[in-house]
A = this chain, B = another copy of it.
Amino acid sequence: MVEQNVLVPVARIREFTTEILVRMGVPRDDARIATDILIAADLWGIQSHGIAHLKLYHHRIKVGHQRATTDLQIVKESPTTAVADGGNGMGQVVGFRMMNLAIDKARQFGMGMIAVRNSSHYGAAGYYAKMATDQGLIGMSVTNARPAVTPTFGAYPLLGTNPIAFGAPTDEPFPFLYDAATSIAARGKVEVAQRANKPTPAGWVIQEDGSLPTDSAQILKDMVTKQAALLPLGGPGEMMGGHKGYGLGTMVEILSSCLQSGVFLSGLTDFDAQGKPQPLRIGHAFLAINVENFLPLEEFKKSTGDLLRELRATKKVPGADRIYTAGEKEYYRAEKALAHGLEITPGLQRDLKSLQKELGLEFDLGF
């Protein structure tokens, strides 16, 4: 019976994830780190960055796009800054360690910033920002990604979806936690539309003739052949601010590559000129700011809390349910999942069982 969604206790899916990663060759301590980051995305309802990626990571490790062991090296360091090389290991392990380094530096010196080269997909950028807010600091993280988004007035994928994550502690049970691509939507959302046989909203994607296609299946084909690209936040042209999303995506690309002599744009390719698999060589940046250098943490938290509460109390337009602030929906989703279990779709059930079989892992997932 794998034809309906099932709820699985979070502790069980967490244990499973760690064991699967260990079978893939990830050292156990690293597997625990990666598990926490993957499960966090699922808890927040960002399934595109959660355990659905286990199958992809397994493939990428097998093929040689990334390594199961993470030989992370600091190549340059100062009291407030560092440049690191991720050795093309697990992006989550790189991210976790380097955000912790940024936090340590910020605790000591007020600010900490780390630029990382030769890493891999690191999951939900917001996790790293939240590592800082959990400790009463402001956190930021950005990452580049494989080409997908076009510059304004073009229709060719060059920029990654290049998310910006920013977190600030509050006096509420959850922080302000912003984590979003600098494109309107990510490729994963077009895939969701295609699986549901639904059109893609006009304006998410641009075709090389300048048109705004809606046929989800065709879009996915055209994105592979680079005849279509995701549009930056703000849409096509400059009328609705498309140049702003494009500029923010470029800012992320610069911060994620140029500070550590990394590759960028079309250089982010996981096949070499001879068509042989190679690491994607993703870059990230992590920033931590120690609030206590500016004012007492409790005062800051009260201030951010008041600010968010005022936003949420805004008069709504007719038909609107309520006003949210960033990170709030994710918090409530996580509360629900922790109480009732994580919802696993039939497709993901099949993927996890097939991984389990391939890796020879005895484990009762309950479905």
Chain A residues in the interface with B (C-beta under 8 A): 76, 78-81, 83, 109-113, 115, 150-156, 158-159, 164, 166, 168, 176, 178, 180-181, 184-185, 201, 203-204, 206, 208-210, 233-235, 239-241, 243-248, 250-251, 253-254, 257-261, 264-266, 289-291, 293-295, 299-300, 303-304, 307-308, 310-312, 314-326
Instruction: Pick the contact of A234: B168, B234, B293 (CB < 8 A).
Output: B234
A241 touching B185, Cβ below 8 Å: yes
Bound: A201/B238 CA distance, A: 12
- Verify B80–A310 contact, CB threshold 8 A: no
Say yes or no: B233 contacts A241, CB within 8 Å. yes
Minimum CB–CB distance for A107 against chain B, Å = 12
Instruction: Give every chain B residue within 8 A of A244 (Cβ-Cβ).
Output: 180-181, 233
Which residue of B155, B164, B241, B320 contacts A154 across the interface (Cβ within 8 Å)? Answer: B320
Which residues on the B side are within 8 Å of A289 (C-beta)? 81, 113
A166 to B312, CA, bound (A): 29
Other-chain residue from B180, B245, B314 in contact with A151 (beta carbon distance below 8 A): B314
Whether B293 contacts A78 by the Cβ 8 Å rule is: yes
Q: Say how far A105's CB is from chain B's closest CB, in angstroms.
A: 9
Q: In the assembled complex, which residues on chain B have CB atoms less than 8 Å from the CB atom of A325?
A: 151, 250
* Contact call A247/B294, Cβ cutoff below 8 A: no
- Min CB gap A307→B, angstroms: 5
**For the complex, what is the distance from the CA of A300 to the CA of B295, rounded to whole Å?**
34
Assess the B299–A109 pair: CB atoms within 8 A.
no
Residue from B79, B109, B307 in contact with A254 in the complex, judged by beta carbons closer than 8 Å: B307
